[in-house]
Amino acid sequence: MQLLGIDPGCRYAGYGVIRTEGSMIYLVEHGLLKLSPTQSLVQRVAAFHDFFSEKITIHKVTDIALETPFLGKNAQNFLKLGYLRGIVYLLSHKHAITLHEFSPTEVKQALTGYGSASKEQVARVLYQLFPRIPPFEREDVSDALAVTLCGLWRGNQNRLIGLR
């Protein structure tokens, strides 16, 4: 399994790629897509599409994990997030990839055992699981890795064996 987790955003999009071989879990890549605020929304959506389409192809992704959104204070941001989520749906269909969606509570529960865990608690678990990773540039990256692991564990009955 090659699983891509995405934390979409119109300015920053975090991502993580995890590969499994038997009972071993490998962190293949993680990072941050930075989208320029000077670009139009159309240009940023296109850049988002192209970036993740390339990641899917390069890593031979078989599954995508995505967190369900919640309506915050800004409805305009929620709407723009919907455009990016639509791109993820399109990429899933175009590349015949299974799409998994999880609520924020499910992601936190899968990683920490507590559905109301803070972002700091989630990040601490990620550092324990992958002690060699450098500090996360932004929370978008740790959010993406968290949803990636949730996708893996929820799809594999929460097997946690041999992380690398």
Domain count within the chain: 1
Q: How confident is the model at residue 155 (pLDDT cuts 50, 70, 90)?
A: low
Is 63 among the residues known to form the active site? no
Q: Give the CA distances from residue 4 to residues 15, 28, 62, 73, 140, in Å, rounded to whole numbers and listed in that order.
A: 7, 10, 8, 28, 14
Q: What pLDDT, in 10s, does the model give residues 114-130? A: 999 999 999 999 999 99
From 21, 29, 63, 67, the catalytic residue? 67
Question: Which residue is catalytic, options 7, 50, 106, 143?
Answer: 7
| Beta pairing, strands 98-102 & 2-7 | unpaired
Residue 164 within any structural domain of the chain: no
50 is catalytic: no
Identify the band that residue 77 occupies on the pLDDT scale cut at 50, 70 and 90.
confident
Tell me which of 18-22, 106-110, 113-117, 151-155 is least confident.
151-155
The catalytically annotated residue of 54, 63, 140, 143 is 140
21 is catalytic: no
What does the pLDDT look like over 2-20, one tens digit per residue?
A: 999 999 999 999 999 999 9
Residue 163 domain-assigned (yes or no): no
**Domain limits for position 118:** 2-155
Q: Is 103 among the domain residues?
A: yes
